[in-house]
Amino acid sequence: MDIADAPPSPLAAADDLNRRARLSRTEPGGNPQLEALALAVSANQPVLLWGEPGIGKSAGLERLASGLGVPLETVIASVHEPSDFAGLPIVGDDPATTGVPMAPPDWAVRLVRAGRGLVFFDELSSAPPAVQAALLRVVLERRVGSLVLPEQVRIVAAANPPSSAADGWHLSPPLANRFVHLRWTHDPRTVARGMAGVWPHVPIPVVEPARVNGALARARGAISGFLTARPGLVHLMPDDAEGRGGAWPSPRTWEMALRLLAVAHACGAGKEAVATALVGAIGEGAGIELLSYLEHLDLPDPDRVLANPEAFNLPDRGDRQLAFLTAVVSAVQADLTQPRWEAGWAVLAKAVEAGVPDVAARAAVDLAALRDTDWPVPSGIDAFVDLLQLSGALASDG
pTM metric for this prediction: 0.84
Q: Which of 178, 197, 229 is the last residue of a domain?
A: 178
CATH assignment of the domain containing 54: 3.40.50.300
Distance CA 24, CA 201 (A): 11
Whether 173 maps to a domain, the answer reads: yes
pLDDT of amino acid 212:
92
pLDDT of amino acid 6:
67
pLDDT of amino acid 254:
97
Whether 209 maps to a domain, the answer reads: no
Whether 171 maps to a domain, the answer reads: yes
pLDDT of amino acid 146:
83
Q: Which of 133, 148, 178 is the last residue of a domain?
A: 178
Number of domains within the chain:
2
**φ and ψ at 155, to 5 degrees?**
-115, 125
Quickly list DSSP for 154-201: EEEEEE--GGG-TT--PPPHHHHTTSEEEE----HHHHHHHHTTEEE-
Quickly list DSSP for 271-340: HHHHHHHHHHHH-HHHHHHHHHHHHHH-PPPHHHHHHSGGG----SSHHHHHHHHHHHHHHHHHT--HHH
Whether 21 maps to a domain, the answer reads: no
Bridging pattern class, strands 180-183 and 47-50 = parallel
Whether 150 maps to a domain, the answer reads: yes
pLDDT of amino acid 5:
66
For residue 96, give its domain range: 47-178
pLDDT of amino acid 169:
74
Q: Which of 120, 152, 178 is the last residue of a domain?
A: 178
pLDDT of 83-116, one tens digit each? 888 877 776 666 666 666 777 888 999 999 999 9
Whether 285 maps to a domain, the answer reads: no
The parts of the chain modelled with pLDDT lower than 70 are 1-6, 91-100, 162-168, 380, 382-383, 386-398
